[in-house]
Amino acid sequence: MTDLTRPTIRLRPKTDSRPLRRGAPWVFANEAVTDRRTKAMVPGTIAVLEDADREPIALVGVNPNSKIIARVLDADPNAEIDEAWFAARLTRALKMRERLFDAPFYRLVHAEADGLPGVIIDRFGDTLVIQPNSAWADTLIEPLAAAAAKVTGASCVIKNATGRARALEGLDEETTVMTGAVDGPIPVPMNGATYMADLLGGQKTGLFFDQRPNHAFAARLADGARVLDVFSHVGGFSLASLAGGASHATAVDGSAAALELAEQGAQAMGAADRFATRKGDAFKTLEALAEEGETFDVVICDPPAFAPNKQSLDAGLRAYERIARLAAPLVRPEGYLALCSCSHAADLTKFRTACNRGIGRAGRSAQLIHTGFAGPDHPLMPQLAESGYLKALFYRLLP
């Protein structure tokens, strides 16, 4: 029996319910009946999703103001979304991370793939940063935060309200410390390097854990090498390269604050004498380095999402091609070029084609030696292609 006191949201007659019964996580606004009753639902309402014949499918979080009008929370329409429910999901997520990592620095929850749609939780030792990027999670942030603290034993919980995803849900941008306190940047050990994460004022949650395996691969190429890390943020690839034995690494970014954190990380590693930063626009800096006659053994470009949606795809692919064209001439013969994309709208084939074209336009020939993706703390949901957003292509450039 379904709880008759709960509100309901119903699929349109022509919407196929089978994908949702098999694990698809989203209902788009054009797939649901959006009558006045549905439109009047408060964003974050927990409701029962029904098919066109009024048969219950799942329990969902509803936001009538979003293109994703409903997110599947539980296949049981009678489930109670309370602290115990959150604790069960979080315990399951934690169990895998503790098996994978020997230190408590990782993505604890990766949204739909971990059964918490629109929720990101990154762990920095004793501190958790929660991004409730969907209305249902924002509404239930208190029991979510309480369960997260209880399951992990963390003493500090931060609600991070920045980012494009919250804006699309019509949510505020107020970041708050919910429990505990944060006293400056937190040192994060990863791949032998030390990163300084600004959990309150940095990008996203303060650090990008998703590139961990790609940082490690780049470090294997960097032993004894001069490395250029473009769009470096807090020194992701450059500090990993220094830990891998690079003779020197230069980090390029447009943010002075991010570069200062990178310098602090290099200092903490005892590698400040092998590290330099250069503030500026990445495209202009690549052009300037070419004019200066600079070359490097390893060049890595890890830009922000140039193609965050389908509308920006063509422009984004042109930007990826341009990055490849400008970076390739800076790589010494038989050196290495790594090109990354976090744009889910640009799939691997399209991204690789753009990079290949850019390398070719630079007059270089290449071997593609490795394709990297996000680490295992960023699991993929098979029914959600968008969760496979990160790609990293490693090329060896020939004479």
**Residue 187, in any domain of the structure:** no
Q: Are residues 269 and 391 in the same domain?
A: yes
Q: Are residues 32 and 161 in the same domain?
A: no
Q: Of the residues 149, 179, 209, which one is the last residue of a structural domain?
A: 179
Q: Are residues 170 and 196 in the same domain?
A: no
Give the domain CATH number at 332: 3.40.50.150
Q: What is the pLDDT of residues 263-294, one digit of tens each?
A: 999 999 999 999 999 999 999 999 999 999 99
**Residue 2, in any domain of the structure:** no
**Residue 40, in any domain of the structure:** yes
Provide the domain limits for residue 112. Answer: 83-179
Of 40, 381, 340, 344, nearest to 164 (Cα)? Answer: 344
Are 96 and 48 in contact by the 8 Å Cβ rule? The answer is no
Q: What is the pLDDT of residues 23-59, one digit of tens each?
A: 999 999 999 999 999 999 999 999 999 999 999 999 9
Q: Are residues 158 and 232 in the same domain?
A: no
Q: Of the residues 74, 98, 117, which one is the last residue of a structural domain?
A: 74
**Residue 243, in any domain of the structure:** yes
Structural domains counted in the chain: 3
Give the domain CATH number at 133: 3.30.750.80
Sheet strands (E) in the chain: 8-10, 26-28, 45-50, 56-62, 68-74, 105-110, 119-124, 127-132, 156-159, 176-179, 186-190, 193-197, 226-230, 248-253, 275-279, 296-301, 331-341, 366-372, 391-397
Q: Are residues 204 and 306 in the same domain?
A: yes
Q: What is the pLDDT of residues 66-101, one digit of tens each?
A: 999 999 999 999 999 999 999 999 999 999 999 999
Give the domain CATH number at 42: 2.30.130.10
Q: What is the pLDDT along the chain (399 residues), one digit of tens a residue?
A: 555 689 999 999 999 999 999 999 999 999 999 999 999 999 999 999 999 999 999 999 999 999 999 999 999 999 999 999 999 999 999 999 999 999 999 999 999 999 999 999 999 999 999 999 999 999 999 999 999 999 999 999 999 998 788 988 989 888 999 999 999 999 999 999 999 999 998 778 889 999 999 999 999 999 999 999 999 999 999 999 999 999 999 999 999 999 999 999 999 999 999 999 999 999 999 999 999 999 999 999 999 999 988 999 999 999 999 999 999 999 999 999 999 999 989 999 999 999 999 999 999 999 999 999 999 999 999 988 777 899 999 999 998
**Residue 186, in any domain of the structure:** no
- Cα–Cα–Cα angle for 362, 317, 66, nearest 5°? 165
Of 130, 112, 132, 116, nearest to 380 (Cα)? Answer: 112
- Residue 153 is predicted with a pLDDT of 98
Q: Are residues 24 and 51 in the same domain?
A: yes
**Residue 3, in any domain of the structure:** no
Q: Are residues 201 and 95 in the same domain?
A: no
Give me Rg for the CA atoms of the chain: 23
Q: Of the residues 74, 93, 109, which one is the last residue of a structural domain?
A: 74
Query: Phi and psi dihedrals of 228, rounded to 5?
Result: -120, 120
**Residue 43, in any domain of the structure:** yes
Q: Are residues 252 and 376 in the same domain?
A: yes
Q: Are residues 172 and 257 in the same domain?
A: no
Report the catalytic residues. Answer: 342
**Residue 165, in any domain of the structure:** yes
Q: How many residues can be counted in the chain? A: 399
Q: Are residues 96 and 164 in the same domain?
A: yes
Q: Are residues 339 and 368 in the same domain?
A: yes
Q: Are residues 391 and 328 in the same domain?
A: yes
- The single residue listed with the structure tokens 């800076």 is 330
Of 223, 45, 213, 202, nearest to 131 (Cα)? Answer: 202
